[in-house]
Structure 1
């Protein structure tokens, strides 16, 4: 197989499924020689201006997967140094004051208002994914713990403040969050609750359901909770993922720095 055109379909090299055809532009002179560290380096150098860092990283990952599949030795460290670092995104989070603003913007219907406020509180104080939130049943809360079925059907347990725990009916199999017709809430309804609150409260941030999860992680971090504990409460398999959820308060960072 020529290095000028690597085409793999199917499941032989999973990461190449995203790149059905990866062309090593400018290295066609290598003919039928195998993929090597040197010609990947040459490809990266020639295309630094042509691709975004994320794209280069994806291509690199695909080529490494292909090399591994073909049992070709590649010096990863020599190559990865050439790829510019991807600048971390800053995600919006909310604080307690902004949470209260959103809750005060709920509909006038008392029952709907209470339910919507409860949705916002659970997202903020439990750090749940939307899919986890809408699948909570009353019977999931036992012994002061809420049983959550997370990603990959992994079970974890989270704790709730008393003002949230008091709403559970222990012998009920019904979903905790329901519509007025006693049906389970769905993803789009959760987003609508948040979007309406943001608009009415005039909070000038891009807030999504996942922003509450990041806010939960940030709140715990600011209270000096161990990172490993935050990881377990969020249900992350990789602690590096947890670190990306924590939104730094740059004003506090500057104040701490000023004390040096």
Structure 2
């Protein structure tokens, strides 16, 4: 039914023309393979060219009982993108997903850590070991710069422009941005490079990679998750946290201390200000206090 060919061509389009991140492409392709498997299981005998709106609705209804609304929404987004591509390539005149509404997912507010909780996590690190000093530098960088975990693992020594007070970050879709970095974090990273990393047997592919494991390879996303999970237990923090929690905390604390949304947007690398605006909703109590303190007619 040509599903494999069309999915493969779409994957190349996402890589070469859209420049999307590897993780996003993997998610898109996975969603499409699941649709193709369902078409085969249902014996519909239809290709991406002949699948119609009712078929897509049946598929969304099929997965609705086993996945969250957020997953349904992402799946539909993948299908919309795929059929837009099919239409753009003149394989068909219409898009069967065009009239299907995205499931309501609500607006999930991000979990955050307080400054005290971040201190507890960092203080839980055993700095008597080489990987302890490395882990300290990792957590300090995540929080000080608001990085995604993929941005942290991809960070290179050549991306560090400490004299200018910035680092060059490669974000989603290989888009680059400069992010400011404070003197305290610069000092911690320099100590890691000079005292710890310099003694690691670096593998040829990772001579420029900043954060390395004991064998001289770059760290994986899973390893960063494990580091934070272990420290959370030691620190006695009950919240569900991940590397992304540091990014949320970075943005929330900046907002609480008076930073404007446009500046936070630039540092986070958000394409749209509406993505950044979620942080306005994180701490309504704090914002109410700001209003009462600074607005001339907030109280009598």
Q: Which consecutive residues of structure 2, in runs of 5 or more, have no partner in the other structure?
A: 11-27, 45-49, 203-211, 214-218, 293-297
1:176 and 1:125 mapped to 2: Cα distance? 21
Q: Please point out which of 133, 136, 139 is paired with 2:152.
A: 133
Equivalent-residue separation in structure 1 for 2:195 and 2:140 (angstroms): 13
Q: Is 1:119 matched with 2:135?
A: no
Would the alpha carbon gap of residues 177 and 245 (structure 1) be closer, same or farther in structure 2, given more than 3 Å must change?
A: farther
1:208-255 CA distance string (max 9 Å, x none): 112111211222232343333222212233444434567612543676
For the aligned residue pairs, the C-alpha RMSD in angstroms reads 4.3
Uncovered stretches (5+) of structure 1, i.e. residues with no partner:
1-5, 29-33
1:177 CA displacement: 7.5
Question: Under a length normalisation based on structure 2, what TM-score does the superposition of the two structures give?
Answer: 0.61
SS at match of 2:5: coil
1:98–1:203 CA contact under 8 A, matched in 2: yes
1:148 Cα deviation from its structure 2 partner: 2.1
Secondary structure, aligned partner of 1:199 = helix
CA apart distance, 1:203: 0.4
What per-residue deviation string (whole Å, max 9, x for no partner) do you get for residues 132-169 of structure 1? 33433175433122222333333211111221223465
TM-score computed with the length of structure 1 as normaliser: 0.68
Q: Greater Rg, structure 1 or structure 2?
A: 1
Distance 1:115 1:64 in 2: 40
State the Cα distance separating 1:98 from its structure 2 match. Answer: 0.3
Structure 1: distance between partners of 2:150 and 2:225: 12
Aligned residues: 242
Q: Which residue of 1 aligns with 2:92?
A: 70
Pick one of 156, 161, 164 that aligns with 1:143. 164
1:162-241 matches, within 5 Å, as 162-167=183-188, 178=197, 181=200, 183=202, 184-185=212-213, 186-187=219-220, 188-241=222-275
> Which protein is richer in helix relative to its size?
2
